[in-house]
Amino acid sequence: MRAMILDKPGPLSPTSLREGQLPVPEPGPGEILVRVTACGVCRTDLHTVEGELDLPKLPIVPGHQVVGVVEKAGKGVERFSPGDRVGASWLASTCALCRYCKAGRENLCPSASFTGYHRDGGYAEFMVASEGFSYAIPEGFPDVQAAPLLCAGIIGYRALRLSGIEPGGRLGLYGFGGSAHVTIQVAKHMGCEVYVVSRGEGHRSLAGRLGAAWVGGSHENPPVKLDAAIIFAPAGEIVPPALESVDWGGTVVLAGIHVTTIPALDYSRYLFHERVLRSVTANTRRDGEELMALAAEIPIAAEVTPFALSEANGVLRDLKGDRIDGTAVLIP
């Protein structure tokens, strides 16, 4: 099968990922072989390729916003059959035994594995996924439209929940890429007013089209105090102005897997009056299932640009340069 393979992480280049041939993997017990039809490109893939995350497996096939069709079912598989349309996300497996798993916080499982990180992902024609960590794709979503839901959507949804925003509240979104452009649709569905800060002109234009109450550049502050804010951009210098933008008792959520150094925070100015700063770590299957149901209800319309699998290096370059509006999706 064709795949885009990372042999060694480092600064992004036209040859960061090598196009090559790999054997079609065989599903083990409880696993399904998925013929990939679409794979969204996530900023986490960029962090992986550039070595900003310590990689437990090399070489590795990136990609964790995967939609495809079940080609073959391993022993004991009951939920899915050949021909079913399924999705695979960042969370690939957990131990099911630790205190976090037993408490419904499997995203914090110390033994968790992740797609495109511990095991080969969707920048390929085929991949293997755990049946228990795969999702049925709602009807009415073309594959390329469904792909961004599998990470950008799920992480944004979890961040929105952890922000504590109430229906009708004022929500800030800092950075407006693949995740934020899905999150705004969920927030608007809740009746929230959404205020967007983004350095990219195309991203700001998209935010306006999706119903933001206000859109500003990276050095601008929302004109009102916010009830909560989510930071999608991997830039630590955004944290102080985001904290300053939320009202007393407000929460700022860091939704990225990697963030540059956060500047020193003056306690009285940024954190006093019970303002909260918290992070998001991966997702639970509950997050994914709830988002899939909500996506069909709204319905969410993802802004996607399709590319051939062989164009992955160029797509990552454009993602790094903020030249992708919405989400890029690779088609094998």
SS3 helix, strand, coil % of the chain, rounded to 5? 30, 25, 45
Q: Does the domain at residues 153-279 carry the CATH identifier 2.40.50.150?
A: no
What string of pLDDT tens digits covers the 332 residues of the chain? 999 999 999 999 999 999 999 999 999 999 999 999 999 999 999 999 999 999 999 999 999 999 999 999 999 999 999 999 999 999 999 999 999 999 999 999 999 999 999 999 999 999 999 999 999 999 989 999 999 999 999 999 999 999 999 999 999 999 999 999 999 999 999 999 999 999 999 999 999 999 999 999 988 999 999 999 999 999 999 999 999 999 999 999 999 999 999 999 999 999 999 999 999 999 999 999 999 999 999 999 999 999 999 999 999 999 999 899 999 999 99
- What is the Cα 78 distance to its own chain's centre? 27
> Is residue 5 a contact partner of residue 17, using CB atoms and an 8 Å limit?
yes
pTM listed for this prediction:
0.95
Give the dihedral sign, CA 16/19/23/29: positive
Distance of CA 318 to the CA centre of its chain: 17
Domain boundaries, the chain: 2-150+284-290+299-331, 153-279
Q: Is 73 helix (H, G, I), strand (E, B) or coil?
A: strand
Instruction: State residue 202's pLDDT score.
Output: 92
Category of 305 on φ-ψ map: left (φ > 0), alpha (ψ -120 to 50) or beta: beta
Domains 2-150+284-290+299-331 and 153-279 share a fold: no
**52 Cβ partners below 8 Å, 6+ apart?**
258
Other Cβ atoms within 10 Å of 24 Cβ, number: 14
pLDDT given for residue 63 in this prediction? 98
Q: Domain 2-150+284-290+299-331, CATH 3.30.70.20 — does that match? A: no
pLDDT at 36: 98
Please report the pLDDT score of residue 239 as a whole number: 98
Q: How far is CA 47 from the centre of its chain?
A: 13
d(CA 87, CA 70): 10
User: How buried is 218 (Cβ within 10 angstroms: 0-12 exposed, 13-18 middle, 19+ buried)?
Assistant: middle
Render 208-265 in DSSP notation, one character per residue. Answer: HHTT-SEEE-TT---SS-EEEEEE-SS-GGGHHHHHHHEEEEEEEEE--S--PPPPP-
